[in-house]
Structure 1
Amino acid sequence: MLFPELFKQLEAVRWNMATDIPWDRFDASLLSEEQAQTIKMNAITEWAALPATEMFLRDNQDDSDFSAFMSVWFFEEQKHSLVLMEYLRRFRPDLVPTEEELHEVRFEFDPAPALETLMLHFCGEIRLNHWYRRAAEWHTEPVIKAIYETLSKDEARHGGAYLRYMKRAMNKFGDEARAAFAKVGVLMASARRTAQALHPTNLHVNEKLFPRDTVQSRLPNPDWLEHWLDQQIQFDAVWENKVVERILHNMSLLMERSFASVQELNRFRKEVTQKLAAVTATGQVKPA
């Protein structure tokens, strides 16, 4: 089991909201109205760890190890929402999200292949780590800068934990896991070719609720994310390349094969998919 070791590792570096956030350094003159509004939107977005956890537990009922790890992931992700709301409660109480606004992002996600979902959230942690690093640079007020730096480190650690479960899945499922991870890896490393930000909170997850079936679509300002990325924190091609490089680097380590580009990862995906199809056609294994 991975959960006991991961619990110890994450417990050892867990930050305390009362003592590790420099609340006394707050400078009201360095917090603009537009910056404060983005903090509210991020607080609500982080609240979506709740329906994501419900999805993980539902779709991984046969995996008690991973499901137990969700207790740590859920706690730390929900704490992200809480610290952003605490910041607003202290310094901009008029912007604290209401319970109704938070509850809007709790909705059921459609069932999806567990391996693909695992890879999707691994890539999401990498992307969010970079988003928050950039947000820390964009903000001018010292306390919120420190908060975003803290959150970005959490997201990096979560990505590392997901990677451990991906390695375990490859040992257990072989090419089935490789194909699933490569498929989602190609998607999540191709953000420059898409019109939307490729993060789990911005993907369509409930067909019956379309078009309000993404977390971002259910925010008070559904257009906030794209504006935040493009106009405010300016998550440009340089930063997007950092995300792509991290995804490809980790895929190279995971698959023990070098991927210098998304195209190379896609070729690998096709190879593994064809191999799986051939094995299935011969009747050696049942399709997953």
Structure 2
Amino acid sequence: MLYPELFAQLEKARWNMAQDIPWSQFDADKLSEEQAKTIKMNAITEWAALPATEMFLRDNRDDSDFSAFMSIWFYEEQKHALVLMEYLRRFRPELLPSEEELHAVRFEFDPAPQLETLMLHFCGEVRLTQWYRCAADWHQEPVIKHIYKTLSQDEARHGGAYLKYMKRAIERCGNEARAAFAKIGLLMASSARANKPLHPTNLHVNESLFPNDTVQSRLPDPAWLEEWLSRQIHFDDTWEARVVGGILRNLSNLFERPIETIQVLNRYRKELTASLKEPNVVPNPAV
């Protein structure tokens, strides 16, 4: 089981909201109205870990190890929402999300394949790590800068935990897992081609509710994410390259072969797909 090991690792890294956030350093002159509103949107977005956890538990009933890990992931993600809300409660209480605004992002996700969903959320953690690092650079107010740096470090650790479950999946499922990870990795590393930020909170997850079936579509300002990334924190091509590079580097280690570009990943995906359709077809060995 991976859960005991991950519990011990993440427990050592856990931060205390009362003691480890420098609340006394708040500088009101360095927080604009525009910045404060983005904190509210991020707090509500983090609250969407609730329906994601419900999805994971429903779709992984046969995997008690991974389901137990959800107890850590859910706790820490909800804590992210809570620390952002605590910031607003202390310093901009008029922007504190209402219970109705939080509940709006709790809706049922359609069932989805376990392997693809695992990879999707791994990529989401890689991307969110960089989003929060960029947000920390954008903010000038010391307390929120510290909070975003802290959240970024958490998201990076969560990505590492998901990666361990991905390695286990390859040990158990072989090319079926590799093909699923390559497929979703290609999708999530192709934001430029999709012309929108690709993250689990911005993808359609309930056909019966379409088009109001993304987390972002249920925020008080559904257009907020694109505005935050492009005009506010300026998540530009340099930052995007860090996301893509992180996905490809981890897939290289996972597949034990060099995956340096999206094009190489796509070729390997096709090889894997062919090997699953034709058992005698074997992907080319790593070079």
Global fold match (TM > 0.5): yes
**Over residues 217-236 of structure 1, what are the superposed CA-to-partner deviations in whole Å (9 max), with x where a residue is unaligned?**
00000000000000000000
Q: Which amino acid aligns with 1:131?
A: W
- Answering whether residue 166 of structure 2 is matched by residue 179 of structure 1, we say no
Deviation, 1:195, is 2.2
Deviation, 1:65, is 0.2
- Number of aligned residues: 281
**Over residues 150-173 of structure 1, what are the superposed CA-to-partner deviations in whole Å (9 max), with x where a residue is unaligned?**
000000000000000000000000
Deviation, 1:279, is 2.3
Deviation, 1:9, is 0.2
**Over residues 1-48 of structure 1, what are the superposed CA-to-partner deviations in whole Å (9 max), with x where a residue is unaligned?**
000000000001100000000000000000000000000000000000
| Alignment-derived partner of residue 188 in structure 2 | 188
TM-score, normalised to structure 1, is 0.97
Instruction: Tell me how far apart the structure 2 counterparts of residues 139 and 147 of structure 1 sit (CA, whole Å).
Output: 10
User: The residue matched to 2:14 in structure 1 has which SS?
Assistant: coil
| Alignment-derived partner of residue 258 in structure 2 | 258
| Alignment-derived partner of residue 286 in structure 1 | none
Q: Which amino acid aligns with 1:28?
A: A
Spell out the pairing of 1:134-173 with structure 2 (5 A cutoff): 134-173=134-173
- State percent identity of aligned pairs: 73
Task: Decide which moves more: 188-197 or 234-243.
Answer: 188-197
Spell out the pairing of 1:27-42 with structure 2 (5 A cutoff): 27-42=27-42
**Over residues 46-86 of structure 1, what are the superposed CA-to-partner deviations in whole Å (9 max), with x where a residue is unaligned?**
00000000000000000000000000000000000000000
User: The residue matched to 2:260 in structure 1 has which SS?
Assistant: coil
**Over residues 131-178 of structure 1, what are the superposed CA-to-partner deviations in whole Å (9 max), with x where a residue is unaligned?**
000000000100000000000000000000000000000000001000
Instruction: Tell me how far apart the structure 1 counterparts of residues 196 and 78 of structure 2 sit (CA, whole Å).
Output: 25
Instruction: Tell me how far apart the structure 1 counterparts of residues 279 and 259 of structure 2 sit (CA, whole Å).
Output: 25
Instruction: Tell me how far apart the structure 1 counterparts of residues 259 and 164 of structure 2 sit (CA, whole Å).
Output: 20
User: The residue matched to 1:221 in structure 2 has which SS?
Assistant: coil
User: The residue matched to 1:279 in structure 2 has which SS?
Assistant: coil
| Alignment-derived partner of residue 208 in structure 2 | 208
Q: Which amino acid aligns with 1:121?
A: H
Spell out the pairing of 1:54-203 with structure 2 (5 A cutoff): 54-203=54-203
Distance 1:160 1:144, change over 3 A: same
Deviation, 1:216, is 0.2
Instruction: Tell me how far apart the structure 2 counterparts of residues 52 and 266 of structure 1 sit (CA, whole Å).
Output: 28
**Over residues 224-266 of structure 1, what are the superposed CA-to-partner deviations in whole Å (9 max), with x where a residue is unaligned?**
0000000000000010001000000000000000011001001
| Alignment-derived partner of residue 218 in structure 1 | 218
TM-score, normalised to structure 2, is 0.97
Deviation, 1:280, is 9.6
Instruction: Tell me how far apart the structure 1 counterparts of residues 61 and 277 of structure 2 sit (CA, whole Å).
Output: 27
User: The residue matched to 2:234 in structure 1 has which SS?
Assistant: coil
Deviation, 1:130, is 0.0
User: The residue matched to 2:278 in structure 1 has which SS?
Assistant: helix
Instruction: Tell me how far apart the structure 2 counterparts of residues 279 and 233 of structure 1 sit (CA, whole Å).
Output: 48
4+ aligned runs moved over 3 Å, structure 1 = none
Question: Structure 2: where are the runs of 5+ without partners?
Answer: 282-287
Instruction: Tell me how far apart the structure 2 counterparts of residues 34 and 280 of structure 1 sit (CA, whole Å).
Output: 58
Q: Which amino acid aligns with 1:257?
A: R
Instruction: Tell me how far apart the structure 1 counterparts of residues 123 and 22 of structure 2 sit (CA, whole Å).
Output: 30
